[in-house]
Amino acid sequence: MRLSSDEVIFWQHGFFKLNETIITTWALMLVLVLGAKWITSRLSPGIHISRWQSTLEIIVSGIRKQIQEVGLQRPEVYIGFIGTLFLFIALSNLCTILPYYEPPTGSLSTTAALAICVCIAVPLFGIAEQGIGGYLKTYIKPTPLMLPFHVISEISRTLALAIRLFGNIMSGSIILGILLTITPFIFPVVMSALGLLTGMVQAYIFSILATVYIAAASSERSE
Amino acid sequence: MLIDWFTVIAQAVNFLILVWLLKRFLYKPVLDAIDAREKSIAAQLEDAAAKEAAAAKERDEFQRKNDEFAQQRDGMLKKAGEEAKAERQKMVEQARQEAEALKNKLQTAAQNERDGLSREITSRAQQEVFAIARKALSELAGANLEERMTEVFIQRLRGLDADEKANLTAFLKTSHHPALVRTAFELSPPQCAAIEAAIKETLSTSNEVQFETSSAIVSGIELTTNGHKVAWSIADYLASLERNVGELLDDTHGNEK
């Protein structure tokens, strides 16, 4: 039994390889980018808009509103990063209803990559907001004694992000696989629906936590 | 091993590429479209507010002009009413004056007519009375009117009471003027002599007696001194007749009205 889609390798040359995770990610990227391009190529700034444009505007303005509610006053700066996190994870988890589909978010490599991206993005946004000195001072507040705890906190929350998403999605897939072998009717459908809900919740949690971390690193939230 | 580090790196790169792509193809166009729409709606709202303000201003201006017009109209109506009233009063006054003038004119004309008629009646009556008297006297007594008048005058002169005689005598004595006897008709010399003799005898005077014919004396004879008069005249009877005829005419005129 496979625990990760990383194990399905289509091509390998030394360190480089093309596994199912990467291929699926590319496919999801293609869907997202082409879909966005297709819809936005016919955008109308007027009052009468298409249903697709309306859907897209609801999603984008919803993300922007969430970022604002967390405390970031300039959501357009962060929406690229945070919105992409949410859309990628959400689409990745939604597609679990497709047969033979293995979600990339069920791979610890993917979730670790996303968590590392967040881990790097948080100080970058923090430095962009309040300068390198201002950002580094947050590690010794309220006292320099807190520096190790801040560093441990950074590492642990990055790990927690990666493991939480991986654990939820992977466990969902594995439980579904096990149930299919035991009770192939009805019950797996319910679990699949539950898996969809879990997937959406995890996408929300991952992106909202990233937002909270960025907001904490920037001076905007506290002020 | 659950983590494949190549996959981690590849997924991180994939994610960053996806971030860039979505930023370019999704967030920017959509947010731009939303902003453009919001700006357009804001502009439309602003435009609508401006138009509303302009409309309100226009309405206020119209209302003001309307009020002004109403005031002007009321003022003009009032002025016209006052002018019409004044004109009416003027016309009524003019008509009243004209009516008054016409009435006066008519009254004057009626009075003139009545006076003329009265004079005519007096004249006719005098002539008729003289004619009747003359005819009656000539037929009944064989005397003419003038002779009879002279006789009556002499009788009246002689019949004066003592006080009157004394007064007349006293006045004639103090007066240097002759005693004046005026008649409506020409006296014959015997009549003149008779009258003169009667005067001198009755009043015991030596003053001359002067005779004068006057149309003002209505068929009679009178002796006048300074303020005293002895006379016989038909004028009294004629005056009485004129008065009675006048009353009759007034009654007739009143009934005609």
**CA-based nearest residue to A215, from A126, A124, A115:** A126
Instruction: In whole angstroms, give the CA distance from residue A89 to residue A105.
Output: 7
The pLDDT mean for chain A works out to: 89
Q: Write the residue in A26, A36, A85 that is nearest to B26 by C-beta.
A: A36
- Per-residue pLDDT tens digits for A14-27: 889 999 999 999 99
**CA-based nearest residue to B236, from B129, B112, B131:** B129
Q: Examine the pLDDT at A221 and tell me if it is beyond 90.
A: no
Which residues in B lie closer than 8 A to residue A57 (C-beta atoms)?
30, 33-34
CA distance A145 to chain B (A): 33
Q: Examine the pLDDT at B234 and tell me if it is beyond 80.
A: no
Q: What is the dihedral of CA B50, B53, B55, B59, to 10 degrees?
A: -170
Instruction: In whole angstroms, give the CA distance from residue A204 to residue A207.
Output: 5
Which residues in A lie closer than 8 A to residue B21 (C-beta atoms)?
29, 32-33, 36
Instruction: Confirm if A202 and A89 have CB atoms less than 8 A apart.
Output: yes
Q: Is A61 on the interface with B (CB under 8 A)?
A: yes
Instruction: Confirm if B178 and B207 have CB atoms less than 8 A apart.
Output: yes
Q: Mean per-residue pLDDT for A144-151? A: 92
Which residues in A lie closer than 8 A to residue B34 (C-beta atoms)?
57, 60-61
Instruction: Confirm if A176 and A195 have CB atoms less than 8 A apart.
Output: yes
Contact A113 B7 (CB under 8 A): yes
Confidence of residue B204 (pLDDT cuts 50, 70, 90): confident
Q: Residue A137: is it exposed, middle or buried by C-beta count within 10 angstroms (0-12/13-18/19+)?
A: exposed
Contact B40 A45 (CB under 8 A): yes
Which residues in B lie closer than 8 A to residue A110 (C-beta atoms)?
7-8, 11
Which residues in B lie closer than 8 A to residue A21 (C-beta atoms)?
7, 11
Which residue, among A3, A6, A30, would best test binding to B if mutated, counting the most B CBs under 10 Å from its CB?
A6
Q: Mean per-residue pLDDT for A160-164? A: 91
Those residues with Cβ within 8 angstroms of residue A111's Cβ, 6 or more apart along the chain or in another chain: A105, A161, A162, A163, A165, A166, A169
Q: Which of A7-16, B1-10, B59-68 has the highest mean pLDDT?
A: B59-68
Confidence of residue A192 (pLDDT cuts 50, 70, 90): confident
Q: B159 or B86, which is more confident?
A: B86
Q: Write the residue in B10, B19, B34 that is nearest to A57 by C-beta.
A: B34
Those residues with Cβ within 8 angstroms of residue A6's Cβ, 6 or more apart along the chain or in another chain: A19, A20, A21, A107, A108, A109, B2, B4, B7
φ, ψ dihedrals at B213, nearest 5°: -100, 130
Contact B33 A15 (CB under 8 A): no
CA distance B76 to chain A (A): 56
* Helix (H) or strand (E) run with residue B183 in it: strand B179-183
Q: Is B10 on the interface with A (CB under 8 A)?
A: yes
φ, ψ dihedrals at B229, nearest 5°: -145, 135
Which residue, among A28, A84, A125, A165, would best test binding to B if mutated, counting the most B CBs under 10 Å from its CB?
A84
**CA-based nearest residue to B145, from B126, B159, B123, B119:** B126
Q: Mean per-residue pLDDT for A177-201? A: 86
Confidence of residue B218 (pLDDT cuts 50, 70, 90): low
Q: B69 or B217, which is more confident?
A: B69
Q: Examine the pLDDT at A168 and tell me if it is beyond 60.
A: yes
- Per-residue pLDDT tens digits for B134-191: 677 667 655 677 777 888 888 888 888 888 888 888 777 777 777 888 887 788 888 8
- Write down the pLDDT at residue A89: 96
Which residues in B lie closer than 8 A to residue A26 (C-beta atoms)?
14
Paired tokens of B235: 């004028």
Say which DSSP state B216 is in: T
Instruction: In whole angstroms, give the CA distance from residue B113 to residue A71.
Output: 125
Which residue, among A2, A18, A33, A64, would best test binding to B if mutated, counting the most B CBs under 10 Å from its CB?
A33
**CA-based nearest residue to B154, from B234, B232, B236, B218:** B232
Domain locations along chain B:
143-250
Which residue, among B5, B9, B18, B23, would best test binding to A if mutated, counting the most A CBs under 10 Å from its CB?
B18
Which residues in B lie closer than 8 A to residue A60 (C-beta atoms)?
26-27, 30-31, 34
Instruction: In whole angstroms, give the CA distance from residue B136 to residue B156.
Output: 22
Q: B2 or B14, which is more confident?
A: B14
Contact A43 B18 (CB under 8 A): no
Residues 157-186 of A with CB under 8 A from B: none
Which residue, among B22, B31, B44, would best test binding to A if mutated, counting the most A CBs under 10 Å from its CB?
B22
Q: Write the residue in A16, A87, A108 that is nearest to B2 by C-beta.
A: A108
Q: Write the residue in B27, B29, B37 that is nearest to A83 by C-beta.
A: B27
What three-state secondary structure class fits B252? helix
Q: What is the dihedral of CA A49, A55, A60, A64, to 10 degrees?
A: 100
Q: Mean per-residue pLDDT for A110-138? A: 92
Q: Examine the pLDDT at B224 and tell me if it is beyond 90.
A: no
What three-state secondary structure class fits A103? coil
ipTM of the complex: 0.92
